[in-house]
Amino acid sequence: MVFQSYALYPQMTVFDNIAFGLTLQGVDEDIIEERVKNIAGILGLTDYLDRLPRALSGGQRQRVAIGRAIIRKVGVFLMDEPLSNLDAKQRVTMRYEIAQIHRETGATTIYVTHDQTEAMTLADRIVVMKDGYVQQIGTPYELYYKPANVFVAGFIGEPPMNFVRGEVQNGALSFGPVTLDLSRKLKDIHMYNGKQIVFGFRPEAIKLGAHDDGYQVTAQVELTEMLGDNTNVYITSGDKQAILKIDSHDTPETDVPLTFTIPLESVYLFDGETEKVIEA
């Protein structure tokens, strides 16, 4: 197990901490030394094997804790937010290393994290929980494209899915100057007349300009965040706000109207009361 709080033995060196499980098993010292050095090389700890935990940074201690677990050839690894104390670059490297180790060992790994990127990149199956209750179990693809409810839809994806909550009137949802004919997405939408519904779409699942294959929306650009290959565009329409994720070459000016289209296949509808997805 890898503990979030490290749980290292303070009186032992890094070498002895990593080797602890093998030492208890009575593994030959030459084999222990070889495997510890191999693990230390993977984790960037080669120069710290003679140090005590108190002489290490938080990130280094976390890597020692990971090394102590993965050096053993076991059937199940339990990891409690093992990368939470690493910087961004180290997290990327360690995600790769953990994935490689998982493929090489074939061991089942139960991995707890609040970081959706870790979950999406490492997991074969994800269990999304809220307040102790399971919201959905599925592959990363299923959770991203087929979320079971508003919570899962908003948790998976960066930036998160946009939601517009409102009351259905005559099969449509209106906000500001925009009216969305929901019957294009759901034929029996009139069953929801007078009821609350949540209209959702992902920031990246839009096309700039007006197109016939979806909902055309014109909104005001409030702010842009250029992130390199893409730009986050913050927009408002009436009292509703949303974020769009577009190619950085198409970054618009602020305080100007922007027209975009939400393709029908990229629209999600949720029941306003239960917040469960409405199947089209």
Q: At 48, is the pLDDT very low, low, confident or very high (cuts 50, 70, 90)?
A: very high
Examine the domain organization and report whether 84 and 182 are in the same domain: no
Domain boundary among 75, 100, 124: 124
Domain boundary among 102, 124, 146: 124
Residue 26 belongs to some domain of the structure: yes
pTM for the full model?
Answer: 0.85
Domain boundary among 103, 124, 145: 124
Examine the domain organization and report whether 199 and 262 are in the same domain: yes
Examine the domain organization and report whether 118 and 26 are in the same domain: yes
Examine the domain organization and report whether 251 and 198 are in the same domain: yes
Residue 9 belongs to some domain of the structure: no
Q: How far apart are CA 37 and CA 18, in angstroms?
A: 10
Q: What is the CATH number of the domain that holds 74?
A: 3.40.50.300
Q: What is the pLDDT of residues 195-211, one digit of tens each?
A: 999 999 999 999 999 99
Distances (CA, A) of 92 to 122, 143, 213: 11, 22, 38
Average pLDDT, the chain: 93
Q: What is the pLDDT of residues 11-29, one digit of tens each?
A: 999 999 999 999 999 999 9
Per-residue model confidence (pLDDT) at position 36: 96
**Minimum mean pLDDT range among 41-50, 101-110, 152-161, 165-174:** 101-110
Per-residue model confidence (pLDDT) at position 63: 87
- Alpha carbon of residue 155 to chain centroid: 7
pLDDT tops 80 at residue 105: no
pLDDT tops 90 at residue 228: yes
Examine the domain organization and report whether 267 and 165 are in the same domain: yes
Examine the domain organization and report whether 164 and 69 are in the same domain: no
Q: At 92, is the pLDDT very low, low, confident or very high (cuts 50, 70, 90)?
A: confident
What total number of domains does the chain contain?
A: 2
Q: At 129, is the pLDDT very low, low, confident or very high (cuts 50, 70, 90)?
A: very high
- The three state secondary structure string of 130-180 is ECCEEEEEECHHHHHHCCCEHHHHHHCCCCCCEEEEEEEECCEEEECCEEE
Examine the domain organization and report whether 118 and 203 are in the same domain: no
Examine the domain organization and report whether 222 and 172 are in the same domain: yes
Write out the residue range of the structural domain in which residue 246 sits. 160-271
Q: What is the CATH number of the domain that holds 173?
A: 2.40.50.140
- Dihedral pair phi/psi, residue 208, rounded to 5°: -70, 145
Q: At 168, is the pLDDT very low, low, confident or very high (cuts 50, 70, 90)?
A: very high
Per-residue model confidence (pLDDT) at position 142: 97
Per-residue model confidence (pLDDT) at position 259: 96
Which of 82, 150, 68 has its CA nearest to residue 113? Answer: 82
Residue 51 belongs to some domain of the structure: yes
Q: At 68, is the pLDDT very low, low, confident or very high (cuts 50, 70, 90)?
A: very high
Per-residue model confidence (pLDDT) at position 93: 83
Residue 218 belongs to some domain of the structure: yes
Which of 165, 166, 169, 175 has its CA nearest to residue 194? Answer: 169
Per-residue model confidence (pLDDT) at position 106: 82
Per-residue model confidence (pLDDT) at position 75: 87
